[in-house]
Amino acid sequence: MKYVYLLQSLSHPKQRYVGLTNNLQQRIAIHNQGGSSHTSKYAPWRIVTAIRFDDDQRASAFEQYLKSGSGRAFANKHLW
């Protein structure tokens, strides 16, 4: 089971992050403690959307889609 999650920075609200994990609570804690080089300078973060997938391959494909141009447009309209 995997989660695709969308984060928004509380200190810099225009900063957003899309990620993939199998332990959502642990992963958000790592982001907020500065454990990720991609998100450390914009901590703290809040979860805007989290979607659970039973199929790991579908979760990975959806995360990659959300990082594409059309996926960002979809997320802006439906998930943020």
What's phi and psi for 79, nearest 5 deg? -115, -25
What is residue 42's predicted lDDT score, i.e. its pLDDT? 96
What is residue 21's predicted lDDT score, i.e. its pLDDT? 98
- Write down the domain spans for the chain: 2-57
Q: What is the DSSP secondary structure assignment for residue 10, as one 8-state letter?
A: S
What is residue 13's predicted lDDT score, i.e. its pLDDT? 96
What is residue 48's predicted lDDT score, i.e. its pLDDT? 98
What is residue 34's predicted lDDT score, i.e. its pLDDT? 92
What is residue 41's predicted lDDT score, i.e. its pLDDT? 96
Average pLDDT across each block of 10 residues of the chain; the chain has 80 residues. List them in order. 98 97 97 94 97 98 98 95
CB hemisphere CA count around 56 (13 angstroms): 4
Distance, in Å, from the CA atom of 71 to the CA atom of 33, rounded to the nearest integer, reads 28
Q: Check if the beta carbon of residue 6 is closer than 8 Å to that of residue 49.
A: yes
